[in-house]
Amino acid sequence: MCTVLRLGDPRLRQSASPVPEEWFGGSQLTALLTDLRDTMAARDGAGLAAPQIGILRRVVIYGITSNPRYPDASPIPETVLINPRLTPVGTATQLGWEGCLSVPGLRGQVRRWQALHIAWRDPSGEEREAVVDGFHARVVQHECDHLDGVLFPDRLESPTAFGFEQELEEAGPLEPASTPGLKKAGDWI
């Protein structure tokens, strides 16, 4: 397990480099994926990008298993995106609360594309593609922002829709319905 860098660390603001061809199928990539997987699990995260553990390569991992704390959460199988390219599908957007392991305790409302085409390489080097939507699309956009040095507070819908989780919950704006099915979704990506 690795330390997750927090907002203020300049490494979170750098643009990550593509994974080079010679990494596919090799031990360097396997070791990075093990670090990402272990760190995400230890922090109860739904997603983690390599720059968050100080590795400036275009790799993200995410997944949601069924969790008794979040009985309505739709599971997302564990997915590794290497050198991902995102293209919005349609023009619809969704507004929802996000948080980040690199911005602990804080949550903010962010507008994201509702649906997304993703093209990427898997760890063996295979070209893959998929269309995702809803919370899955939100996680992918949040994680891939990390590869360009962008954190969710950069994308706030409004500076007033931002604050500490406990205060937002007590004051009311942070409703379970704001992220369908997932009360605490924003905490872990």
The DSSP-derived string for 90-159 is: SS-EEEEEEEETTEEEEEEEEEEESEEEEEEE-TT--EEEEEEEHHHHHHHHHHHHHTTT--GGGGBS-T
Give me the least distance between CB of 49 and Ni ion, in Å please: 7
Active-site annotation holds for 167: no
Cα first-last separation, the chain: 17
Give me the least distance between CB of 189 and Ni ion, in Å please: 5
Q: What is the C-alpha to C-alpha distance for residues 154 and 91, in angstroms, rounded to an integer?
A: 21
Give me the least distance between CB of 26 and Ni ion, in Å please: 27
Nearer to Ni ion, 121 or 138 (CB): 138
Nearer to Ni ion, 36 or 100 (CB): 100
CB 85 within 8 A of CB 120: yes
Binding-site residue total for Ni ion (CB under 5 A)?
1
Span of 9-17, 25-33, 100-108, 114-122 interacting with Ni ion by CB under 5 A: 100-108
Give me the least distance between CB of 102 and Ni ion, in Å please: 5
DSSP annotation of 57 reads B
When binding is defined by CB under 5 A, the residue of 32, 64, 100, 168 that contacts Ni ion is 100
State the number of CA atoms in the 13 A half-sphere of 4 facing the CB: 23
Residue 16 in contact with Ni ion, rule: CB under 5 A: no
DSSP annotation of 25 reads T
Annotated active-site residue in 143, 157, 170, 175: 143
Nearer to Ni ion, 127 or 186 (CB): 186
Residues that bind Ni ion (CB under 5 A): 100
Hey, which residues are catalytic here?
A: 143
